[in-house]
């Protein structure tokens, strides 16, 4: 039961351009959404989050947009840098079964210089 889906396994972007990573969810009980970045042999690193009562949150080069009616969120990275190359996971929080995060399968981002 994939409640959080990242339908693009990979994305390739030129340095300096915008990277847009997408995520869809099905559970209307999700109330908080997060993006994590993961390098090989490391744990996920928290990037940015958004509450379900907002539609946008910005932190430097990273902006997350939430469209509740479409059950869709996206992460925009502007401008993209080669160091952004990593696996990006979308996660959603629910109080069902405790303070649990439900993750998507991830999107591999490659930023070409």
Partner 1 sequence: DAGVTQSPTHLIKTRGQHVTLRCSPISGHKSVSWYQQVLGQGPQFIFQYYEKEERGRGNFPDRFSARQFPNYSSELNVNALLLGDSALYLCASSPPGVYTQYFGPGTRLTVL
What is the contact surface with partner 1 in residues (CB under 8 A)?
A: 4, 32, 34, 36, 41-46, 49, 89, 91, 93, 97-106
Pairing outcome for strands 62-67 and 56-59: antiparallel
- 39 neighbors 70 (Cβ within 8 angstroms): no
Cβ proximity to partner 1: between 86 and 89 the closer is 89
Minimum distance, C-beta of residue 100 to partner 1, in the bound complex (Å):
5
Q: Say how far apart CA 51 and CA 54 lie, in whole Å.
A: 6
- 43 neighbors 100 (Cβ within 8 angstroms): no
Cβ proximity to partner 1: between 42 and 69 the closer is 42
Minimum distance, C-beta of residue 81 to partner 1, in the bound complex (Å):
22
């Amino acid at each position: 039961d994939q409640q959080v889906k990242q339908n693009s396994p990979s994305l390739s972007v030129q340095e300096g351009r915008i990277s847009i990573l997408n995520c869809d969810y099905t559970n209307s009980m999700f109330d908080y959404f997060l993006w994590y970045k993961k390098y090989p042999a490391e744990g996920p690193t928290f990037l940015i989050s958004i509450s379900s009562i907002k539609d946008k949150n910005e932190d430097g080069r990273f902006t997350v947009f939430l469209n509740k009616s479409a059950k869709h969120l996206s992460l925009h990275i502007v401008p993209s840098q080669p160091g952004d190359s990593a696996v990006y996971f979308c996660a959603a929080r629910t109080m069902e079964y405790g303070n649990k995060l439900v993750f998507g399968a991830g999107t591999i981002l490659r930023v070409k210089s």
